[in-house]
Structure 1
Amino acid sequence: MNLTTFELAAIALGAFGTGFFKSTFSMAIGLVLVPVMLLFWPTRFIIGTIAIHMLISDYAVIHRFWKQWEWNLAKLVIPGFYAGIVAGTSILVNLPDFWIRKSIGASCLVFILTRTWSEIKGALPALRIGRRAGFAIGLGGGIVSAITHTGGTVLTLYLLSQGVQKVQLVSTIIVTWILVNPLKVASYYAGGLLTPALLFAGAASIPFAFAGGWLGRRVLDMMSQRVFNFSLLGLAAATALRLLWE
């Protein structure tokens, strides 16, 4: 498969955008980057391309957040993400995802309303998340991630509910994807969404992911915690509404 110049431009743009959002608003990859790129390039091509970029950008930006993650929270959801990625890829390849998207959207709105209330009226007690609940959150996030690349929304809202602050939040999301995205790319390849040529071109675009990650971290450092939280909640609300009313 020979890639055209237009497709190579998409790969470069996707790498930069993914690196940028990985360092700022991870869930915006599925909310902003993917929909915009779908206006110009084929759906399956973009879905596969962004999966490669998400894997590459993890390694491009992780050094900027090294050991700032909340591992006790990440380890609760990672097993569920593994199961969800496999299930979600099967759905993406074979089945419609209408009701799954609607249920995830409704769950997101509950988290958004709760967190928005705490931002305005004061912090609420953090929810206690055990292994079973963590697996369920990861399962839902993995399914949505495989289908629409918006699993970051579920993961972000979960971490916000635990009171994780902005740098630690981004760091925890990245370390989670470091361990999850290799399975996602492998599942996509097995499902026919990726080709060797696309994998090679995606890997070659890593300098663009580094550039996006560098810029994103600087944007993150300049934002206040309150602005950061409301920005995340606004993006999450838009994602949930899109899932419910698309």
Structure 2
Amino acid sequence: MHFESWQWVLLAVAALFFGLSKTGIPGISMVSVGILANLMPAQQATGVVLPMLIFADGFAFFIYRKNLEWRRVGRLLPWAVGGVVAGWFALGRINNEQTAQVVGGIIALMLGLHVWRQRKNAERLATQAPAWFGPAMGVFAGVTTMIANAAGPVMTLYLLAMRLSKLEFLGTGAAFFLVINWIKVPFAVHLGLITPASLILNLWLLPAVAVGALLGRPLVERVNQRWFENIALGLAALTAIKLLFF
């Protein structure tokens, strides 16, 4: 992989945002996904993204390990693994445009569901969620993360619906993605998404990921809960619009 100087700058910014998204502002990683998709072929970009996300997941898990709710993770994982398998199966049968539309449609559906739950007394529904809610979120997260590394907005909607605090939100999300992203690795290698060349590029970009991850905790401590939720939901909405229409 050969890049011009300005392209290396964009790659470094994307890597920094990956780290920041895991420990500070969920959803900002979609900006990075867009940067990489414009610098290299889509499948190549997917292979480059996954190891950086895993590296950032490790930082986030260590930083927020005392703030996570394992029962939320355990409820989702079996369903998410099923979604990963479904996404792996689908990747060989749909093109890039169809993939973007599928992911965008899922995110838009989840946003609509979140608004509905808020109007129906979100706090009550969060503690008495219908039986299908967790499994559906798990499957959607698995499919979207396998197809496009785009499960962040889906998990944002699920964790916000559970009425978690900022730190519980980040800790629980970090634990979930640390496990599910490692599960995705064999599937990505099988599809040829992760290659020796992509791993070499990852090694050059990991320092920027680490910087972003370390900056995230001080940043999130300065953002109040309402702003935090609005930013997360806004980024999810922008993601859906971009995937569906652009």
- TM tier, smaller: 0.7 to 0.9
Could you tell me how far apart the structure 1 residues matched to 2:19 and 2:104 are?
28
> Are residues 60 and 106 of structure 1, via their aligned partners in 2, closer, same or farther at CA, if it must alter by over 3 Å?
closer
Q: Are the equivalent residues in 1 in contact too, given 2:114–2:161 (CA < 8 A)?
A: no
Is the Cα contact below 8 Å between 2:103 and 2:150 reproduced in 1? no
User: AA paired with 2:2?
Assistant: T
**Mapping of 1:87-102 within 5 angstroms?**
87-96=86-95, 97=98, 100-101=102-103
Residue 189 of structure 1 deviates from its aligned partner by 0.9
1:221 to partner: Cα distance: 1.0
The size of the alignment, in residue pairs, is: 240
Give how far 1:144 is off.
Answer: 1.0
Letter paired with 1:34: V
- How far apart in 1 are the matches of 2:78 and 2:200? 28
Give ranges in structure 1 of 5+ residues lacking alignment. Answer: none
Q: Which residue of 2 aligns with 1:184?
A: 184
Shift of 1:61: 2.8
2:216 is equivalent to residue 216 of structure 1 = yes
Using the alignment, how far apart are the partners of 1:70 and 1:226 within structure 2? 21
The answer for unaligned runs of 5 or more in structure 2 is none
When normalised by structure 2's length, the TM-score is 0.85
What are the equivalent positions in structure 2 for 1:193-208 lying under 5 Å apart?
193-203=193-203, 205-208=205-208
The CA deviation at 1:150 is 1.6
Change in CA separation of 1:59 and 1:51 when aligned onto 2, cut-off 3 Å: same
* Corresponding residue for residue 113 of structure 1: 115
Root-mean-square deviation over aligned CA pairs? 2.6
In 1, Cα distance between the equivalents of 2:117 and 2:19? 27
How far apart, CA to CA, are the structure 1 residues paired with 2:202 and 2:190? 17
Letter in 2 for 1:217: R
* 2:43 paired residue number: 44
1:71-128 Cα deviation digits (max 9, x unpaired): 111111111111212221232233244563354134222234246658xxx8542333
Distance 1:176 1:6, change over 3 A: farther
Aligned twin of 1:65: 64
One-letter identity of the residue aligned with 1:59: G
